[in-house]
Amino acid sequence: MQVYDKRLDIETSVAAFKKDNKSIGFVPTMGALHQGHLALVERAIAENTVVIVSIFVNPTQFNNSEDLVNYPRTLESDVKLLSRLSTNIIVFAPSPKEIYGNEMLSTPYNFGGLENEMEGKFRPGHFDGVGTVLKHLFEIVSPTKAYFGEKDFQQLQIVKKLVEIEKMAVQIIGCTIYREDTGLALSSRNKRLSKEQMANAPLIYQTLKQVKKDFGTKSVTDLSNWTLDQFKNNDELKLEYFEIAKVSDLKSITRKRKNTKYRAFIAVFAGEIRLIDNIALN
């Protein structure tokens, strides 16, 4: 298992892989790895000669400094988990300085409006940070394919747009959401949930599943009101937003149209911990 923290070291390895025409699968993560991340890595292993996993808690994508400080950092156990999948995986775990130099700045991006919806509204600057770090990482790793979870569906759409804007030759692969048996989407932030919060958190997916079931027969307004009701009297979970949006541009809708793909998106606070999820509706 190779673990690099220096940009130059990984760039040297990448240059050798490129010379040998090896395909490079890349899985960018912020660490505190769980089975959801590992499913992405397994797919990358199946589809590429070489797999690189980055573990980097990217400061510029955090709009909340407490969230950044409290974000779990577990490099040693992350490396152990990865080595169980394959000892050939290359881990890139740089310091912020290695990526950004002395100026921790993000580039302002126009992702065609995708950045102004949902997470963009509630986390100002978040997608500029995501775009900036991924541009750096794609330049360093030079991947053939890069793997992203539908758990962060808006991010996945934005990454596809980023690659278009920056004219980068990487194929972006979306992977299905990995869930606990309770339906709760796996997230590194779940590690911080109390017992009570954990017991209530499955309500998020239960609500999404019911919305999907009723999508054909109920109006968007009724579904939104019903969702608000589900969380209204819950002591552990506070609903931040619920939206039904078009897959194409992520704009929320009030009326359904034929031949259009929709998804439901949700963000919930369990205390200070923010959880997001989404589901395909049709």
Per CB under 6 A, residues contacting ligand AMP are: 29-30, 36-37, 40, 148-149, 151-152, 175, 177-178, 185-188
Assigned token pair, 148: 């992203």
What is the C-alpha separation between 124 and 120, in angstroms, rounded?
Answer: 6
Can you list the alpha helix ranges (DSSP code H) found in the chain? 7-19, 35-47, 65-70, 75-85, 96-100, 118-122, 126-141, 153-165, 195-200, 203-214, 220-232
**Is 40 or 170 the residue whose CB approaches ligand AMP more closely?**
40
Shortest Å, Cβ 201 to ligand AMP: 13
Has 37 been annotated as catalytic?
yes
Contact call for residues 148 and 175 (beta carbons, < 8 A): yes
**Is 37 or 145 the residue whose CB approaches ligand AMP more closely?**
37
Phi, psi for residue 272 in degrees, rounded to 5: -90, -5
What is the C-alpha separation between 176 and 40, in angstroms, rounded?
Answer: 9
Residue nearest to ligand AMP (CB): 149
Shortest Å, Cβ 151 to ligand AMP: 4
**Is 54 or 200 the residue whose CB approaches ligand AMP more closely?**
54
**Is 178 or 262 the residue whose CB approaches ligand AMP more closely?**
178
Assigned token pair, 3: 């673990």
Shortest Å, Cβ 155 to ligand AMP: 6
Amino acid present at 182? T
Shortest Å, Cβ 277 to ligand AMP: 9
What is the C-alpha separation between 134 and 30, in angstroms, rounded?
Answer: 12
Of 34, 37, 126, 136, catalytic = 37
Shortest Å, Cβ 177 to ligand AMP: 4
Tokens 């309770």 belong to 182
Q: Which residues contact 100 (CB under 8 A, 6 or more apart)?
A: 59, 60, 136
**Is 112 or 174 the residue whose CB approaches ligand AMP more closely?**
174
Give catalytic residues, as residue numbers: 37
